[in-house]
Structures are given as C-alpha cells and as structure tokens.
Amino acid sequence: MEDNIMDIVVGGVISWTTTFLLTRKWIFPKRSFEFCSRIVSTIHATLAVILSSLSVQDWSCPACPLASKASPKQMETLAVSLSYMMYDLVCSSFDKGVGVDNSIHHLVSIVGFGAVLAYGRCGSEVVAALWITEISTPFLHLRELLKELGYKDTDLNLAADILFAVIFTLGRMVGGPYLAYVTLSASNPLIIKAMALSLQLVSAFWFYKILRMVKYKLSKRTSQIAPKI
C-alpha cells in the first residue's frame, strides 16, 4: 500500500472521529449518540457517492474495466471509505442498537477495501459496489433522524421510508446482483469475490427486513385512515 494511501486512511480515521465528537459535543449536544452517528454516516455516504462518481472510468459500463488495475482516484476513494468503516466499526461498538448484520457488513467492507488497496486491482468493481451500497444510506438515516426530531408516524416519515425502500431495492437488488455476477465471473482475487458474495447476501437479508417494514407501515397507515363503523 502506497504511503499517500496510508496517510489518507490514518488521516481519515482521525477526521471521522473528530467530526463525530464535534457533532456530539458542539453541534447537536442534546441529541442521542445514534443521531450524531447517523449525521456522520450521512456525510460519508454523500462523499462516497460523489467520489465514486468522479472515479468512474467509463459511464457506459461503470464497473469496467473488470479485474484491472485500480486508478489513483479509485484508490483514494476506497481509502476514504476504508477509514470511515474502521472508525464506524469502533464507534458503533458503543451503540447498543447495532446488530450483527451491520458489524458483518463493516468487516466485509474493510477486508474488501483493504484487499483492493493492497493488490491495486479491481478498483472499478469495488467503487461501483461502494456507489450502490451508499446511494440509499442518506435516506436510511433520514427516516431515523425524522423520528428523533418528532416526525414519527407522519406522512413525511412514511415518504422517507418508501423512498429509502425504492432506492435500496433498485441499487442492491437490481444493480447489486449484476455487479456480484460480473465480479465473480472476472479473474478477480478470491477475497474480492468473497466480498461481493457476502455483501449481496447481507443486502438480501436487509431487503427482507425492509419489505416487512414497508408492509407494517402501510398496513398501519391503512388502519389509521380506515373509517370506523
């Protein structure tokens, strides 16, 4: 791993930690730990999508060239997200609400990003995966932030739930399987293939949970507006 990439990773961990502490102590001191953590995650997701978009080499095939040498922009993009995942894995350990599935997602991402930075290959596929996994993250957090701000069970919160579900489904259950297929089919290192498969399995599990959430929310809203006889 090149020295400048290592500097980005180390500097990133420090920067994300500092951002969380400032958010927790100064910007939103009266909000919960989870609220502040979601703010930082939203910042990362937005930055990751922007950097991923800027590092795409061919928009006619965003995951191309397959199994090729990673470009400097791709390496830097993955270094930024690796630093965030390392920070968030530790930070989330202080949050009692974090599930095993989320920890697995973080570990898989850390190993995958680290492998790309170590091998210097597969940048196109992994950057595309980063884009797909992070595009729905701001909407995931929006629905939870709205709840803490007092908008639970409102039309605004329901709209955020549905918007998140649609974007997640299109990204992870339409684009995700295709990206996993091309990654597994190309001559990528085994660890990259394992990352692609693992992320898709986690996405499928989350998709199942999202379907249950949407069904519950819609049935609850229907029962609320149904005329009482």
The mean pLDDT of 51-66, rounded to a whole number, is 89
Looking up tokens 């930690």 gives 17
Residue type, 155: D
Least confident of 132-136, 154-158, 178-182: 154-158
Q: How confident is the model at residue 93 (pLDDT cuts 50, 70, 90)?
A: confident
Phi-psi region of 120 (alpha: psi -120 to 50; beta: other; left: phi over 0): left
Angle between helices 123-134 and 33-55 (to 10 degrees): 140
pLDDT over 70 for what percent of the chain? 94
Predicted confidence at residue 226, as pLDDT, reads 53
What tens digit of pLDDT does each residue of 104-155 get? 888 989 999 999 999 898 999 999 999 999 999 999 999 999 999 999 888 8
